[in-house]
Chain A
Amino acid sequence: MSLLSIRNLHASIGDKEILKGVNLEINLGEVHSIMGPNGNGKSTLAGIIAGNTKYTVTEGEVIYKGKNILDMPVDVRACEGIFLGFQYPVEIPGVSITNFMRTAVNEQRKYRGLDPLSGAEFLKLMNEKKAIVEMTTNLANRSVNEGFSGGEKKKNEIFQMAMLDPTLAILDETDSGLDIDALRIVATGVNKLRRPDNATIVITHYQRLLDYIVPDFVHVLYEGRIVKTGPKELALELETRGYEWIKEELEQKA
């Protein structure tokens, strides 16, 4: 049984249909990359898996760990092990990262029937996970994402992913706005978290990130459908040839 199975997913915002029949199967231990031009539904797909209610699913199903999760609230999905790394992480003045993460970790532990972490345990965990993304910032007095540079925000997303240890992580354009050092650090972080008992979806429209995070599968999402799936070499081909030839292939088929 696959970890995530998306079947004939149609979704819209308001009157605008964005996803027009997406099919996708993801198994434990796999890294999938979803590529495609801007405005073709990549972030919509990520948002729907995570539970963003601003999208309306009009048809199809999303089966995660054998359950249709479309009616499950976003926080319950997170407790079930789904993590979304945001393309634009939200600034939350007045909420410290420490408090935010301690609450998240302990609410997830509670959901799984585990005791909350003690202060000392939590600090130890936080220091371990900060190291994964080479985070040197003192998080004590900093509000979530407030005043962070683009790179710090993305590192903070991967730090949160490390803290929460999800089964399925979806990274939405984590590479956008990163300089080459930050890109390396973020990618290294993701690789360190890769295990046979979890899976990752990397959404990007540059090949660059995939120099560091090597996917098992590359999918092209175009006009609301996954129109092509291939091995990691597909990403390279997209980088050199662009998306035009895929459009042409599609037209020929039609």
Chain B
Amino acid sequence: MEKIVQQFRDIQPTMRKNEVWRHVDFSALLTDELSLPQGERQTAEYHCNIPDLEAIRFVTENGLCHQPTLQTEDGTIISGFRNFSSQRPDLVRQYFGKCTPKENPYLKINSDNYTDGLFAFIPDGVHQQKPIQLQSVINAGHGLFLQVRNLVVVGRNSHVVIIHCDDSYDHSPAFANNVTEVYIMEGAQVEYYKMQNLNNQTGLLNHTYVAMQQGASFRSVALTLNGGHIRNHSEIRMLGEHCNVEAHGLYLNDQEQQVDNYIFVDHASPNCHSRELFKGILDDNARGTFNGHVLVEDGAVKTEAYQSNKNILLTDKAHITTQPFLEIYNDDVKCSHGSTVGQLDEQALFYIRSRGISERTAVTMLSYAFCDEVLQQILLEPLRNNLIDLVKKRLHGELTPCSECSLHCSSPCNGPEANFHIDPSKL
């Protein structure tokens, strides 16, 4: 076994003694088959099939980025991380590791061993029209242990949309211990959309650390469609007043998959708002955890913080551990937290079926309806429409041909769809 893989495995038992990591055991995925990336490349170009989405696209392929640095007239820099570190070590040093905790050994393994990633720098006062899309592609054809490091700096009063996709392109096993740091300066706005569609042999520990200055806003939606074991570990710190956080997630898992969402929101300053909505559907033997921690520090008066986690378990074997948690050190706050675990609404199922709709179709319709609330949090319309379609396809599984499915995606997955010519989203 690779030394780093062994090192990662070995710290797991100690980590599990901490409540935050208690359910995290990647051992089954950390196998002898994993090796460190050697610059494996399958193709020079990757496409993204989201219609009408014009994005600045950056690809890391098996942990390495091969694109040249892009610098636009307004001063925006988008580059491979390794490449940029050698060009502007000063700028990288100014931010690297400045908003990450010191005591996380998984993070340390990445910091010591990362191979590459995305560096994005948006200067002050830039409204970046095109979203920046980072595709992390895994397709080496053999087992890989990856460590990607991304760094995003958004200047004062700037605005940027980042789309971050983790995709498996083959069925080889892989494990990725990825870290993303996001620095949001005064008054800047960041939308951060994560899509995770990995194969069942792949594990992903996805750290996201966000530091926000006064008046900054951060909106994230993480969509977990598939993956052996995916953990989204996010820590968001509101360091200045009047910050706004909207952090949302949707997870749809089945078979033997595991999905974890850990989110820590630190209200370190007064007058900040945060809202979290995480929803998930677990089928078969899938397992999940939600661990939400809102910390309101003693000086953080006029805080508003809302946290919600809702789950549907489709079988008796599916399992969710949900721990919403508020830690408040002053009394001038409005906070709420809640979580639910349940099944689909029997009354609604009966109502739908009473119109002649089969049970299977009714279940699919209601499952989608449950997801819709999170998907509506995606402000970027072409992306939202595409993800709505992906979720619909995920829910109908591979068993029903498109023509019989109730969900009427705007882009059918196989063959021509002859019967319906109108874009249903516009009806």
Contacts and interface: CB of A to CB of B under 8 A. Distances in A.
A92 B355 contact: no
Interface in A117-173: 117-120, 123, 140, 143, 160, 164
A9 interface: no
A143 B372 CA distance: 11
A99 B353 contact: no
B367 to A, nearest CB: 10
A90 B422 contact: no
Interface string A56-93: 00000000000000000111001100011010011011
A52 B353 CA distance: 10
Contacts of A223: none
B419 interface: yes
Contacts of B359: 73, 75
Contacts of B369: 92-95, 143
A90 B371 contact: no
B351 A89 contact: yes
B397 interface: no
A164 B353 CA distance: 13
Given A92-B366, A119-B420, A164 B356 contact: yes
B357 A93 contact: no
A120 B422 CA distance: 8
A17 interface: no
A50 B408 contact: no
B351 A86 contact: yes
A96 B406 CA distance: 12
A140 B372 CA distance: 15
B427 interface: yes
B421 interface: yes
A238 B424 CA distance: 49
Interface residues of B, number: 33
Contacts of A51: 354
B346 to A, nearest CB: 8
A99 B408 contact: yes
B350 A74 contact: yes
Nearest to A108: B356
Contacts of B407: 99
B358 A75 contact: yes
A104 interface: yes
Contacts of B371: 94
Interface string B369-404: 111110000000000000000000000000000000
Interface string A93-115: 11110111111100110010001
A116 interface: yes
Given A99-B406, A102-B408, A119-B420, A90 B351 contact: yes
B348 interface: yes
A123 B373 contact: no
Nearest to A163: B355
A7 B2 CA distance: 76
B357 A103 contact: yes
A82 B426 CA distance: 31
Given A92-B366, A95-B366, A100 B355 contact: yes
Contact of B357 (A107, A116, A118, A119): A107
Instruction: Specify which of A51, A79, A92, A101 lies most central, judged by the most chain B CB atoms within 10 Å of its CB.
Output: A92
A93 B352 contact: no
Contact of B422 (A78, A86, A119): A119
Contacts of B353: 73-75, 78
Nearest to B426: A140
Contacts of B424: 98-99
A74 B408 contact: no
Contact of A119 (B355, B358, B421): B421
A75 B345 CA distance: 17
B368 interface: yes
A143 B365 CA distance: 12
A101 B365 CA distance: 12
A52 B349 CA distance: 11
Nearest to B372: A94
A115 B404 CA distance: 12
Given A90-B347, A103-B361, A107-B361, A118 B419 contact: yes
Nearest to B376: A94
Contacts of A84: 354
B248 to A, nearest CB: 15
A104 B356 contact: yes
A103 B365 contact: yes
Contacts of B406: 99, 103, 107
A98 B427 contact: yes
A89 B347 CA distance: 10
A70 to B, nearest CB: 16
Contacts of A90: 345, 347-348, 350-351
B252 to A, nearest CB: 15
Contacts of A101: 355
B343 to A, nearest CB: 15
A83 B354 CA distance: 7
A50 B348 CA distance: 15
A107 B351 contact: no
Nearest to B364: A103
A30 B351 CA distance: 26
A140 B358 contact: no
Contacts of A74: 350, 353-354
Contacts of A99: 365, 406-408, 424, 427
Interface of A: 50-52, 73-75, 78-79, 83-84, 86, 89-90, 92-96, 98-104, 107-108, 111, 115-120, 123, 140, 143, 160, 164
The 7 A-B pairs with the shortest beta carbon distances in the complex, nearest first, are A94-B369, A94-B372, A78-B356, A119-B422, A104-B355, A90-B351, A108-B356
5 contacts: A75-B362, A92-B348, A92-B366, A119-B420, A140-B426
Interface of B: 345, 347-348, 350-359, 361-362, 365-366, 368-373, 406-408, 419-422, 424, 426-427
Given A98-B427, A102-B408, A164-B356, 7 more contacts: A75-B357, A78-B353, A92-B352, A92-B365, A93-B373, A99-B406, A103-B365
